[in-house]
Homo-oligomer: A and B are copies of this chain.
Amino acid sequence: MKQSDEYYMQQALREAEKAFEKGEVPIGAVLVMQDRIIVRTHNQVELLKDPTAHAEVLAITAACDQMGAKYLPEATLYITLEPCLMCSGALYWSKIGRIVFGATDPKNGYGNKVSSSPFHPKTELQGGLLAQEALNLMQQFFKNRR
């Protein structure tokens, strides 16, 4: 069944909540192909003690593994926060079809760090979907840590 962008972002937010509960910076992602979620994941830097284990990288690796392909032109990634430079580069290499993100990240998001779009020319991009929900989770997380 075809679902809305909001539906998929809600699912990504659920993943972010799971991260939150585990003491991970609360960022979640779902990867959708042909109206089906094929990957649900969240940031696992602390669990894996791996600074590359951001939700986007984990989603790309898992999706490519499932598809047996190194490119994902038919996929959409829903991610609760603006991707960082690493994840933007990973999304570039994956040639992903579409990226929908939630809140912007003035500190670590790619937007303030690149001189031109870091994504593949064919990748569609949309930001700001359910941004406040994603931001609330982040703010609550960092407030608790202080």
Q: How many copies does the complex hold?
A: 2
- In contact, B49 and A65 (Cβ under 8 angstroms): yes
Say yes or no for A116: interface residue by CB 8 A criterion.
yes
Residue of B nearest to A72 (CB): B51
- A-side interface size class: 20 to 34
Q: How far is the CA of A84 from the CA of B92 in the complex (A)?
A: 10
Taken residue by residue from 131 to 145, chain A's Cβ proximity to chain B (1 for < 8 Å, 0 otherwise) reads as 000000000000000
Contacts of A95 in B (CB 8 A): 51
Contacts of A33 in B (CB 8 A): none
Contacts of A115 in B (CB 8 A): 112-115
Residues of A whose CB lies within 8 Å of any CB of B are 45-46, 49-52, 57, 60-61, 64-65, 68-71, 84-90, 92-95, 112-116, 118
